[in-house]
């Protein structure tokens, strides 16, 4: 293609609306434009990237035996009522009425629709397994859409749904999708990690997220360098271990070889010291010698949650344990009502009337510090059993850098950041039972179909690729998803000789199937270099007068900026491979 | 692909919901399923057809220099207010509110959005022309969606928009699209005709519809066998000619060589005779000797319209002449108020208070019959000028079979039926002026960009292909858009030898890039033949035990049902070309 024939409205300045790198660079490279909050148009260059990702996805899905279909975006309320999601989904489900006042929604996901198709068309075990997928625009009415394509309201997604007769089949279908996802993101040229994930609102039995690793990623991922275990923060398991007391380096209270001396509990005045940091500084101890007491409401049940001072409460784990959908910290006035003391001084000793849930890391602590349930008072040298006993020990904290791996005995967890680009769920029979999607087994008895669902954010993959691959000058596309694989830069289109060499190279490469962009604009060399770097096309061929006179052009690698002189002859005879 | 691995839920019976052939056959062939009124899912086989059509469209659009983009489906009200269409569009525009109560609509077409992109990004004449297109789901909330994909609410469309600096450029852009459309429908294997069309609600300067010809088509097309003129009914021009009086075979009143005798006007009793048919039978004359007087309200203006007895009023032509958007016949009670007589007896003689508009064909009539504005009375031997004078002579009737061609002097019009699958508009500056989309010309002055827009109904093209190509047994796909080009039918998959030949042929053809479906189901031969005919795959290869023993298979053409014995060897060595 000729640059001058394409709408590539690059921007010199950073647009004000963009908060993250991928958003900024996609706007600057003229790839997308905002139409409304969280709603974007893809311009020609951006859409070329989308189509390349789509094609990789399509090929791998087909290869894995999935069949492409295309479902509507406007979906009738009745189907969503069958699964109860019409009521449960919340405001992200954009509801609307047609001219006859019938209720519809814009599809944020298609479990209901695809299950409806399958229950109508699949009757016998002989028709299973079936895996149906589509690539389509979805809509989720996010309350605060942001970060460009990263958290938009309208977005392009590949969603696949598998239907199996039995658990073994369902797991095989899941495995095929898992492998297809590995192939897809590898072919897209991305560094990524599949991690165990929580099943959340979609529900189901188990689940993986595919994370593109990038420092700017909005999610934390815990992974073990030793055994390959990886999980997102919501899910990453913690194990009990013992970094509690400075004198102890290993062992635990249940380990009889370790001797610890339980000191007598003391009351200490800590005037105005409410935070872990303030208390530990004031008392001259480390945060990990403290235990935070958080008073939390899960749906309509109030509980006290104990977490080591340097640990973070994990709301998803807690709500899973409490089987509740909403977790809130109590307001200070409510805390005072429950504990008798201002918030910041809550503690488990003598706490009455609400269950106490302790994180498993607390189990290994002794002689620790807690709030005194009294203004300006903390208790030190508190010990389990002797001074209080939690009702439950549960893993309710975020995994932390250096934690022991929950799967192997040798590894420790690293925390890295990532961007979720794919998600696989083994759903089980959640939807098929709600919607009565059954098949007749070999004995003629009806059985619920076992489902899985598998999503890839196509636009998000594009954004994640940029978050992972860029420098100060612009994007550095992985070759497979670059809008063009090569850009030819004739530095002076007025120079007949050099420009005709550029065109000759363009024709030759195009002819042999390379995706080439020829910058035929009558612009200064500086402008062309800047735009080429910004657009991020992996290979640049610079055609200058001087070089052409010597029979050479410069081939520059966008990522490394390494330049190589190549004889024109070698390019034209394809002796030199781009 | 293996038949058993695909979801192809064929139906033996005609589904009750389907009113037309394409709808019925798409349902029966398991290509689509209804989700809600006018909203369909495409199943694997149906979506293969869609993707083949899309790819032809995409290739031809790219070849014509159009650039693919992708705009959102959820569009903000503000843009639609700029052109006034938020108010004007009516209920087909599905309006909705997001969680923040901001107004949006589902895009039924994208002139506003694309013009917004171009006005923001195109500043100079040097950036023009630009032609942007997309392939996307649209939504129009039709009051009575019907006929499957033919008149759905959610539908897949290719829409392109051209932007030019001057009229000559705009016409060149239009011409390129016109030619691309010819290529597209030709490559799809369809018999079609581009016809002149009215510009309707989209507005603009001129327009063509691309009609796939089929007896079942919902639109009538007038075309001249002599000069190639073709137009849809709304638009097809009529010319004045003179089949008026039985004694006259040629000439007109303005032709001085023709002598006519104007007889005296007479009042005749026609008790209860209101329709053209009743009156002409009662008086023993031909319908073309009558003139109907229709009392019509255009927006809020009432007029009398005169049309020859055997002609039909064309509402689009009349509303264009009256510059109104809504045309309604008056209710009988209102007619009585205006004319003083029951409806059925209206006439122009002595009619007061409202303008009289006569169709141009009336100009050539003499001694004709009209209503008497009196119950049970008609007037015969009425003549223009002498008895009354219309305020205007205008072409306000439908063209009719055998009418003289409005463009050439020799041809007569044929009326054929067709299905509109594409529509091109030269819009001019309607949208660019409303939205202030300007560019700076070479002198630095701002000028309105000149636009065109160009649509193709992708699903509709699929439906039209079936309306045009089917027989009593099912679909007969044109090769280029068939879901598969060849189906292999091993009549007995239990027969090891024959089935292995079938697989060998399948592998060979697949290897060389043919799109083959292997019917690997353990079904009776009759079932396989029936399904193969229904699905409409152009070439069937029948592999039976007896043939295999003789080293041959049968190659059957779906359209002609002609069967040819072909040596297996020739198929495997590609000596015989499918």
User: Which residues of A are less than 8 Å from B44 in CB distance?
Assistant: 67-69, 132
User: Which residues of A are less than 8 Å from B99 in CB distance?
Assistant: 91, 94, 141, 143
**Residue of A36, A62, A110 to mutate for B, most B C-beta atoms under 10 A:** A36
Inspect the interface and report whether the beta carbons of B71 and A41 lie closer than 8 Å: yes
Strands A486-490 and A219-224: unpaired
As a whole number of angstroms, the distance between CA B57 and CA B55 comes to 5
Inspect the interface and report whether the beta carbons of B96 and A98 lie closer than 8 Å: no
B147 Rama class: left (phi>0) / alpha (psi -120 to 50) / beta: left
Indicate the DSSP class of residue B215. Answer: T
pLDDT of residue B248: 38
The rounded radius of gyration (Å) of the Cα atoms in chain A is: 29
pLDDT of residue A504: 96
pLDDT of residue A246: 36
Phi, psi (degrees; rounded to nearest 5) at B82: -60, -35
B223 and B414 Cβ atoms separated by less than 8 Å:
yes
Domains of chain A in sequence order: 3-237+416-466 (3.30.930.10), 266-394 (3.90.960.10), 484-572 (3.40.50.800)
Structure tokens at A391: 């009702």
Number of Cβ within a 10 Å radius of residue B201: 12
Inspect the interface and report whether the beta carbons of B35 and A6 lie closer than 8 Å: no
Smallest Cα distance from B517 to chain A, Å: 14
Give Dmax (Cα) for chain B.
93
Mean pLDDT per 10-residue section of chain B, whose length is 578 residues: 96 89 97 97 98 98 97 98 94 96 97 98 96 98 92 97 97 97 98 85 76 91 88 82 40 55 94 95 94 94 95 92 90 93 94 94 93 96 95 93 85 92 94 97 97 98 98 97 98 93 96 95 96 98 96 97 96 87
User: Which residues of B are less than 8 Å from A96 in CB distance?
Assistant: 94, 96
Inspect the interface and report whether the beta carbons of B42 and A139 lie closer than 8 Å: no
User: B35 Cβ partners below 8 Å, 6+ apart?
Assistant: A71, A72, A75, A76, A113, A116, B41
Inspect the interface and report whether the beta carbons of A40 and B74 lie closer than 8 Å: no
The rounded radius of gyration (Å) of the Cα atoms in chain B is: 29
As a whole number of angstroms, the distance between CA B64 and CA B176 comes to 6
Which residues in chain A show pLDDT less than 50? 242-252
Question: Which H or E element spans position A506?
Answer: helix A496-511
pLDDT of residue B345: 96
pTM of the model: 0.88
B52 Rama class: left (phi>0) / alpha (psi -120 to 50) / beta: alpha
pLDDT of residue A244: 39
Structure tokens at A50: 């989308």
Structure tokens at B248: 């006259």
User: Which residues of B are less than 8 Å from A42 in CB distance?
Assistant: 69-71
As a whole number of angstroms, the distance between CA A381 and CA A368 comes to 5
CA torsion sign for B60, B65, B68, B72 is negative
A152 and A38 Cβ atoms separated by less than 8 Å:
yes
Which of B44, B94, B153 shows the shortest C-beta gap to A96? B94
Helix then strand count (H, E) for chain A reads: 15, 31
As a whole number of angstroms, the distance between CA A507 and CA A368 comes to 75
Question: Which H or E element spans position B317?
Answer: helix B315-322
Q: Of B371, B328, B334, B369, whose CA–CA distance to B351 is shortest?
A: B371
pLDDT of residue A163: 98
Inspect the interface and report whether the beta carbons of A69 and B50 lie closer than 8 Å: no
pLDDT of residue B548: 96
User: Which residues of B are less than 8 Å from A116 in CB distance?
Assistant: 35
As a whole number of angstroms, the distance between CA A481 and CA A378 comes to 58
Question: Which H or E element spans position B63?
Answer: helix B44-63
Which of A6, A69, A73 shows the shortest C-beta gap to B44? A69
Strands A377-382 and A266-269: antiparallel
Smallest Cα distance from A484 to chain B, Å: 14
Structure tokens at B497: 């030898």
**Residue of B40, B78, B98 to mutate for A, most A C-beta atoms under 10 A:** B98
A415 and A220 Cβ atoms separated by less than 8 Å:
yes
Tell me whether residue B376 is exposed, middle or buried, using C-beta atoms within 10 angstroms of its C-beta: 0 to 12, 13 to 18, 19 or more. middle
pLDDT of residue B419: 96
As a whole number of angstroms, the distance between CA B359 and CA B310 comes to 12
pLDDT of residue B201: 54
pLDDT of residue B241: 56
B222 and B399 Cβ atoms separated by less than 8 Å:
yes
Using DSSP, state whether A283 is helix, strand or coil.
helix
Which of B7, B35, B104 shows the shortest C-beta gap to A130? B7
Structure tokens at B61: 């659009």
B119 and B168 Cβ atoms separated by less than 8 Å:
no
pLDDT of residue A258: 60
Inspect the interface and report whether the beta carbons of A69 and B43 lie closer than 8 Å: yes
* Closest-approach residue (CA) in chain A for B39: A72
Which of A35, A71, A74 shows the shortest C-beta gap to B139? A74
pLDDT of residue B247: 36
Helix then strand count (H, E) for chain B reads: 15, 31
């Amino acid at each position: 293609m000729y640059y001058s024939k394409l709408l590539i409205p690059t921007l010199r300045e950073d647009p004000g609306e963009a908060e993250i790198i991928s958003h900024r660079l996609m706007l600057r490279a003229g790839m997308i434009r905002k139409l409304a909050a969280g709603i974007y148009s893809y311009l020609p260059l951006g859409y070329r990237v989308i189509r390349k990702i789509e094609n990789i996805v399509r090929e791998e899905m087909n290869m894995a035996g999935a069949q492409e279909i295309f479902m509507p975006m406007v979906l009738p309320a009745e189907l969503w009522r069958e699964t109860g999601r019409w009521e449960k989904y919340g405001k992200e489900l954009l509801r609307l009425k047609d001219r006859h006042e019938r209720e519809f929604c814009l599809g944020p996901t298609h479990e209901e629709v695809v299950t409806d198709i399958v229950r109508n068309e699949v009757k016998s075990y002989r028709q299973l397994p079936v895996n149906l997928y589509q690539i389509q625009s979805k809509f989720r009415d996010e309350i605060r859409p942001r970060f460009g394509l990263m958290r938009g309201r309208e977005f392009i997604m590949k969603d696949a749904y598998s239907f199996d007769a039995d658990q073994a089949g369902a797991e095989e279908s899941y495995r095929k999708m898992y492998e297809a996802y590995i192939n897809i993101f590898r072919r897209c040229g991305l560094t990524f990690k599949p991690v165990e994930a929580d099943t959340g609102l979609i529900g189901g039995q188990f689940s993986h997220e595919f994370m593109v690793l990038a420092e700017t990623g909005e999610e934390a991922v815990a992974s073990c360098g030793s055994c390959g275990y990886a999980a997102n923060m919501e899910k990453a398991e913690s194990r009990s271990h013992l970094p509690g007391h400075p004198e102890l380096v290993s062992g635990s209270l249940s380990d009889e070889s370790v001797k610890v001396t339980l000191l007598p509990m003391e009351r200490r005045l800590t005037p105005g010291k409410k935070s872990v940091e303030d208390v530990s500084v004031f008392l001259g101890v480390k945060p990990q010698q403290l235990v935070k007491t958080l008073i939390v409401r899960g749906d309509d049940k109030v509980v006290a949650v104990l977490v080591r001072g340097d640990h973070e409460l994990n709301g998803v784990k807690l709500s899973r344990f409490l089987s509740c959908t909403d977790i809130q910290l109590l307001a200070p006035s409510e805390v005072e009502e429950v504990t008798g003391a201002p918030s910041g001084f809550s503690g488990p000793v003598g706490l009455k009337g609400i269950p106490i849930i302790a994180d498993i890391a607390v189990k290994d602590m002794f002689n620790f510090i807690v709030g005194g349930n009294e203004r300006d008072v903390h208790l030190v040298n508190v010990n389990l059993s002797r001074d209080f006993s939690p009702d439950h020990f549960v893993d309710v904290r975020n995994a932390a850098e250096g934690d022991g791996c929950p799967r192997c005995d040798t590894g420790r967890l690293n925390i890295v950041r990532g961007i979720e680009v794919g998600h696989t769920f083994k759903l089980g029979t959640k939807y098929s039972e709600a919607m009565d999607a059954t098949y007749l087994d070999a004995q003629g008895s009806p059985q619920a179909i076992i489902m899985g669902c598998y999503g890839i954010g196509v636009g998000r993959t594009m954004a994640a690729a940029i978050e992972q691959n860029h420098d100060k000058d612009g994007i550095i596309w992985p070759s497979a998803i670059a809008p063009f694989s090569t850009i030819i830069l004739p530095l002076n289109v007025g120079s007949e000789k050099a420009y005709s060499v550029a065109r000759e190279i363009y024709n030759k490469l195009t002819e042999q199937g390379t995706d080439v962009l020829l910058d035929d604009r009558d612009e200064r060399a500086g402008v062309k270099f800047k735009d080429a770097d910004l657009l991020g096309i992996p290979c640049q061929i610079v055609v200058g007068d001087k070089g052409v006179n010597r029979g050479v052009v410069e081939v520059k690698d966008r990522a490394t900026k390494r330049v190589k002189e190549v004889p024109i002859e070698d390019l034209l005879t394809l002796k030199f491979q781009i």
